[in-house]
Amino acid sequence: MPDSAFRGELVAALPALHRYALLLTGNEHDAGDLVQDTVVRGLQSADSFQGRASAAGWLRRIMHNVWVDGHRGRRELPSDQIADLVEAQWRDDRYTVDAARVAERAEHREELRDGLSHLPVIYRTAVVLHDSEGLTVAQVAEVTGTTVAAAKQRLRRGRMMLVSALAGASAVPGPGVPMRCWRARSQVSDYLDGALEPRSARALEAHLSGCSTCPPLYSALVATRDGLARALADRDPDSVVPPELVRRIEAHLAATR
């Protein structure tokens, strides 16, 4: 049976779990159900929680597994197929977006959630955990049960998908520049995270200063990342756990005492 200390950590983790669930599901009803399912699973598995990580981190992993399990039977295009389609757009040197439109949509939580809803589960979780919850790539890999390299690729591709989903952009012609656009675009995610080595960073910056199609994509990536960070900040009124959800969780806690 869970002890009082664990119960206290679980309750303290509810706001973070609710924020995560809200961006995964896109609506309050499904988010509440996902939080409740996660809490139930957590209570059932409390004996396996050994305190090596925070309860919030442990519960995020449970939530990820519950979320993914719930999507296994749904009919949708394979994740890799969707990612390949978007990446093919970004490989085209002529492809760009209206950065102002993306930034405007990223300012609105409902628009942002709608854009996230177009991302396959594995890419959505990587983007939300990293850019909203502030986890490192290594922590994202731990939560999602994958390698650091795979988590890094999912984050890069997920960011691209989110920009394209928010933009609805079409390709426009642009002049050639020394670095191929796809090489620059494939490095931008690392550049945003400060993970690009200095020589490559300088080459990327030179490319961005002379290319007409890549700077809007870069600006759009920055806007969506920053929008996600703002959307789930503690000061966001939508991050407050709904009272009805709190009552449901308290009922489950009471039932296990």
Rounded to an integer, what distance in angstroms lies between the CA atom of residue 81 and that of residue 157? Answer: 12
Identify the H or E element spanning 69: helix 55-71
Both structure tokens of 66: 């519950």
**Closest listed residue to residue 129, CA positions, set 64, 83, 188, 185:** 64
The predicted model scores a pTM of 0.73
The amino acid present at 217, given as its one-letter code, is L
DSSP state of 124: H
Q: How confident is the model at residue 239 (pLDDT cuts 50, 70, 90)?
A: low
**Most confident stretch, 41-50, 109-118, 232-241:** 109-118
Check: CB of residue 11 under 8 Å from CB of residue 249.
yes
For 28-38, write each residue's pLDDT tens digit: 888 899 999 99
User: Does the pLDDT at position 196 exceed 80?
Assistant: yes
Check: CB of residue 86 under 8 Å from CB of residue 182.
no
The region that residue 117 occupies, defined by phi over 0 for left and psi between -120 and 50 for alpha, beta otherwise, is alpha
The confidence score (pLDDT) of residue 137 equals: 95
Both structure tokens of 109: 């939580």
Set out the domains of the chain in order of their start, with CATH numbers. 4-75+237-255 (1.10.1740), 79-231 (no CATH)
